[in-house]
Copies of this chain bind each other. A is one copy, B any other.
Amino acid sequence: MRYGVAVFPSKKVQDVANSYRKRYDPHYALIPPHITMKEAFEAEEEEIENKIIPELSEIAKNTQPFSYGVYKVSSFSPVTNTIYLKIEPSDEIFELNDKLHAGELPEEKDFAFVPHITIAQKLSDEEFSDVYGSLRMLKFDLNDKVDRFQLLYQLENGAWSVYETFRLGKG
């Protein structure tokens, strides 16, 4: 089965992200707005129960909740036409990402971690120019807290279902 780890922002931030995703993100219906902390990986259920969940629980227990800000829109162009709400980088979020790619956990980090909430993807080049041209002018003043992360699995239709919640400072 395919699993992944994500942080879901507060309702306030999810509602802002969805107001753009609705129009520009074909994954709008597959998962609520999220910060991907660990890209999709394949694992057996037994491995998840006996190895991955205990490790995630341990990481959560040893990580304190932290805050982050969202102030602007950015893009992965020219690598991809993805547009996202930029998570203001902090040591805490990079440290959490590092922990989620160490020890027993599957290592599939192809790129440097850029914390973000996707709001548009799979746009044609023309659409991208139009949409990014206007979205890049936006300014936000959103402050939010990461106090948990979630392990999800993917259904046949591509949608993601939450399997387990890990509270920072608790596990």
Chain A contacts to B: CB under 8 angstroms: 1, 8, 11, 14-15, 18, 22, 28-30, 32, 148, 150, 153, 155-157, 159-165, 167
Question: Among the listed B156, B162, B165, B167, which residue makes an inter-chain contact with A15, where contact means beta carbons less than 8 Å apart?
Answer: B156
**Using Cβ atoms and an 8 Å threshold, which residues of chain B touch A30?**
29
21 example contacts (A-B, Cβ-Cβ < 8 A) are as follows A8-B161, A8-B162, A11-B153, A11-B155, A11-B156, A11-B161, A14-B155, A14-B161, A15-B156, A15-B157, A18-B156, A18-B157, A18-B159, A22-B157, A28-B29, A32-B155, A32-B159, A32-B161, A150-B165, A163-B165, A164-B167
How would you classify the secondary structure of chain A's contact residues: helix, strand, loop or mixed?
mixed
Q: A150-B162, A163-B165 are in contact. List 18 more A-B contacts (CB 8 A).
A: A8-B161, A8-B162, A11-B155, A11-B156, A14-B155, A14-B161, A15-B156, A18-B155, A18-B156, A22-B157, A28-B29, A32-B155, A32-B159, A32-B161, A150-B165, A162-B162, A162-B165, A165-B165
Contact status B15-A11, CB under 8 Å? no
